[in-house]
C-alpha cells in the first residue's frame, strides 16, 4: 500500500485551500494531531522528527470540524429564545423587503 504523506507545510496549504482561511501554523497542526479538537485528532505521523499526514486524514479532520453537533441549536436556545429569534428575523425581513424594490 503506497499512501501519500504530506509534510505539515503542505497540510497547511491544503487546509487553507479547503477552508478559504489563512494557513494554520505548523504548531497548530501538530496540536490538532497530538491533542485534538472537540474529541477528534488529525491523524498524523512523526517520521524522522517531522510530522506528516495524508490528504484523506486532512479531509476527515475537516469533515469532523465542520459537522454540526447533534442538538447544538436546541441546547443553545430554549423555546422563548427561539421565538425571539424568529420574531427578529421576521422584523429584519420586513425591513429589507421594501428597500429591495427601490434598488431594482
1 domain residue, yes or no? no
Confidence (pLDDT) at 104: 45
20 domain residue, yes or no? yes
For the chain, which ranges sit under pLDDT 70? 1-2, 68-77, 97-104
Mark whether 52 and 94 lie in a shared domain. Answer: no
Instruction: Tell me if 41 sits within 8 A of 51, measured CB to CB.
Output: no
pLDDT digits (tens, 9 = 90+) for 50-78: 999 999 999 999 998 887 666 555 455 67
Mark whether 10 and 42 lie in a shared domain. Answer: yes
Confidence (pLDDT) at 77: 63
Tell me which residue range forms the domain holding 39: 6-66
Mark whether 93 and 76 lie in a shared domain. Answer: yes
Mark whether 28 and 58 lie in a shared domain. Answer: yes
40 domain residue, yes or no? yes
User: Distance (Å, rounded) from C-alpha 23 to C-alpha 29?
Assistant: 10
Q: How many domains does the chain contain in total?
A: 2
46 domain residue, yes or no? yes
Instruction: Tell me if 26 sits within 8 A of 9, measured CB to CB.
Output: yes
Q: What is the pTM of this model?
A: 0.63
Mark whether 58 and 79 lie in a shared domain. Answer: no
16 domain residue, yes or no? yes
Amino acid at each position: 500500500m503506497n499512501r501519500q504523506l504530506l509534510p505539515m507545510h503542505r497540510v497547511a496549504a491544503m487546509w487553507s485551500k479547503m477552508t478559504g482561511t489563512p494557513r494554520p501554523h505548523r504548531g497548530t497542526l501538530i496540536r490538532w494531531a497530538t491533542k485534538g479538537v472537540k474529541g477528534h485528532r488529525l491523524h498524523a505521523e512523526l517520521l524522522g522528527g517531522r510530522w506528516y499526514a495524508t490528504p484523506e486524514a486532512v479531509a476527515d479532520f475537516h469533515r469532523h470540524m465542520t459537522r454540526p453537533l447533534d442538538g447544538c441549536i436546541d441546547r443553545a436556545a430554549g423555546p422563548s429564545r427561539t421565538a425571539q429569534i424568529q420574531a427578529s428575523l421576521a422584523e429584519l425581513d420586513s425591513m429589507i423587503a421594501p428597500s429591495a424594490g427601490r434598488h431594482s
